[in-house]
Amino acid sequence: MRDDETILLDMLIAARKVQQFAVGLDAESFTQSELHQSAIVRELQIIGEAARQVSDTYKSNHPEIDWHRIAGLRNRLVHEYFRISLEIVWRTVEEDIGVLIERIEKLIPPDEDLS
Report, as residue numbers or ranges, the catalytic residues.
74, 79
CB neighbours (10 Å) of residue 95? 9
How far from 67 is each of 11, 80, 82, 107, CA to CA, in Å? 11, 19, 23, 14
CA distance 9 to 112: 8
DSSP H helical ranges for 1-115: 4-22, 27-32, 34-53, 56-61, 67-79, 86-91, 97-107
CA distance 98 to 86: 18
